[in-house]
Amino acid sequence: MKYDYLIVGAGLAGATTAHELTKAGFKCLVIDKRPQVGGNVYTENISGINVHKYGAHIFHTSDKQIWDYVNSFVGFNRYTNCPVAQAPDGKLYNLPFNMNTFYQMWGVKTPDEAQRKIDEQRKDALERMHAEGVEEPRNLEEQALTLIGKDIYEKLIKHYTEKQWGRKCTDLPAFIIRRLPVRLTFDNNYFNDSFQGIPVGGYTLLIENMLKGVEVKLNTDYFEHREELHKLADKIIYTGEIDRFYDYRFGHLQYRTVSFETETHDMPNYQGNAVINYTDSETPFTRIIEHKHFEAFGNEVYANPVTVISREYSKEWNPGDEPYYPVNDERNSALYAKYKELADREENVIFCGRLAEYRYYDMHQVISEALKKVKQLL
C-alpha cells in the first residue's frame, strides 16, 4: 500500500485529520472532487477581497484549545458578527435579540421593562402549552414563541426561518432557534463564545497551511475512482455524504442548499455591515453578505474603492446540487440512524464531518470531532 490513509474531502474535517495523521507519521492522500481545497469554507480573492464562496463563515468557539489550534496555522482578526435584520415593517433591527432589538421593537429602555414585555409576549404560548400538558416545545414555532414571544417571532424569525428551511416553523425542530442568544444587555455580538474572528488572508490560507506537506489530488471524485483508490490505502477517512457512500440504499437524506448571486459594485461601502438578513417573506433571498466587512474595519473599508456582495437564496436540495445543511427532522434522523448502523460496522472507514455524520456542526465542532477521531487512531 502506498498510503496509510485515503482522506476523501479537503474541507475542515479532511484537513484536520490529514494534518494530525501526517504529524503522527502516517502517509496520507487527500482527494477532493472540487477544483480547490477548503470545502465550504473556501475563500477566493476578488478585487482584493476574500470572498466566502460557499457562504459567510465566522469562526467562533469557547474552547481555548481549538482557538489556539486554528491560530497556530494563521492569524485571526477581531471580527465580531453583528448582523442586522431588515424586517417586514421596513425597519432595521439589531440581532441577536438584545436590548437594542427590544428598544427598536417596543421602545423599552431598561432590562426590567424588556423582561416584562417579553413575559407578556410569551404568555399566550406558554398557557397553550400548559393547557395541552406539553412540557418541552415540540417545534421551532413553539420554542420561539415561548422563548421570546410573538412580535419578534413574526418580524424576525418566522419568515426568515421558513425561507431558509423551506418548511413551516411548526415542522422544524426546536433546537435550531436555540442557537441564537437572547440577552438583556446592549450587546450585538451574535455569538456567546469567548473567541471569534476571521483568518487573516482568508480560510483558504488556513486550509492550505493545515495541508502543508500532505499530498492532495483535486478534481477527483471518490466514487468515480473507488476501485483504484482502494488499492492505494487500507484505511479511509470519508467526509462526504454518508448516504452516497452506501449508494442511497435506504433512500436519500435531505439537505438544504444555498445559491449565491455574487456581484462586484463600484462603490466602497454597499450596506455598511457584513451581514443583513431579510426577515420578510417577499424578498426572495435570506441575506446579503458584503465580504469586505469581514476583514476591513472602520475607515479601512474605504481603502478599496470597490466591494463584493452576495445575495443568498436557500433552496431544497436535489441530486447534483451542493449539500449544505443537513435537515435534522424526524424522517431524516431515522434514515441517518440506519446509515450510521452500517457505518459503525466498518472497520477501515472513519466517517467524519458535517456530511458524513449528518450533523449541523459549526467549524470548531468539526475540528474538535476530527481531533477526537484521530486520537482514537493513534
Catalytic site positions: 179, 183, 256, 287, 312, 360, 362
Is residue 139 near ligand UDP by the rule CB under 6 A? no
* DSSP state, residue 246: T
3-state SS class at 350? strand
**Close Cβ partners of 283 (under 8 Å, ≥ 6 residues apart):** 86
| Residue 358 contacts residue 336 (beta carbons within 8 Å) | yes
Helix 12-23 × helix 203-210 angle, to 10°: 30
Choosing from 86, 101, 277, 368, the residue that interacts with ligand UDP (CB under 6 A) is 277
Q: Which stretch binds ligand UDP (CB under 6 A): 101-109, 155-163, 230-238, 329-337?
A: 155-163
For residues 209 and 201, what is the distance between their CA atoms, to the nearest angstrom? 11
Pick the closer one to ligand FAD by CB: 40 or 332.
Answer: 40
Pick the closer one to ligand FAD by CB: 174 or 207.
Answer: 207
Is residue 85 near ligand UDP by the rule CB under 6 A? yes
How many residues bind ligand UDP (CB under 6 A)? The answer is 13
Is residue 296 near ligand UDP by the rule CB under 6 A? no
Q: Which stretch binds ligand UDP (CB under 6 A): 121-129, 175-183, 216-224, 238-246?
A: 175-183
Pick the closer one to ligand FAD by CB: 173 or 240.
Answer: 240
| Residue 88 contacts residue 155 (beta carbons within 8 Å) | yes
The DSSP H or E segment spanning 233 is strand 233-238
Contacting residues toward ligand FAD, per CB under 6 A: 8-14, 31-34, 39-41, 55-59, 221-223, 239-240, 258, 324-325, 353-355, 361-364, 366
**Close Cβ partners of 225 (under 8 Å, ≥ 6 residues apart):** none
Choosing from 160, 238, 245, 255, the residue that interacts with ligand UDP (CB under 6 A) is 160
Neighbour count for residue 246 (Cβ, 10 Å): 13
Q: Could you tell me the smallest distance in angstroms from the CB atom of residue 160 to ligand UDP?
A: 4
Q: Could you tell me the smallest distance in angstroms from the CB atom of residue 282 to ligand FAD?
A: 22
Is residue 289 near ligand UDP by the rule CB under 6 A? no
**Close Cβ partners of 346 (under 8 Å, ≥ 6 residues apart):** none
160 interacts with, out of ligand UDP, ligand FAD, none, CB within 5 to 8 A per kind: ligand UDP
Distances, alpha carbon 364 to alpha carbons 100, 184, 234, in Å: 28, 27, 28
Put the strands of the sheet holding 255-265 in their side by side order.
92-94, 84-86, 275-278, 287-290, 307-316, 255-265, 325-326
11 interacts with, out of ligand UDP, ligand FAD, none, CB within 5 to 8 A per kind: ligand FAD
Q: Which stretch binds ligand UDP (CB under 6 A): 14-22, 130-138, 173-181, 208-216?
A: 173-181
Choosing from 7, 177, 355, 366, the residue that interacts with ligand UDP (CB under 6 A) is 177
Pick the closer one to ligand FAD by CB: 154 or 221.
Answer: 221
Q: Could you tell me the smallest distance in angstroms from the CB atom of residue 224 to ligand FAD?
A: 8
For residues 168 and 190, what is the distance between their CA atoms, to the nearest angstrom? 24
Give the chain's length: 378
**What pairs with residue 57 in β-bridges?**
none
Residue of 277, 207, 278 lying closest to 53 (CA atoms): 207
Is residue 161 near ligand UDP by the rule CB under 6 A? yes
Neighbour count for residue 355 (Cβ, 10 Å): 27
Residues of this chain that interact with ligand UDP (CB under 6 A) are 85, 95, 156-157, 160-161, 164, 176-177, 179-180, 277, 279
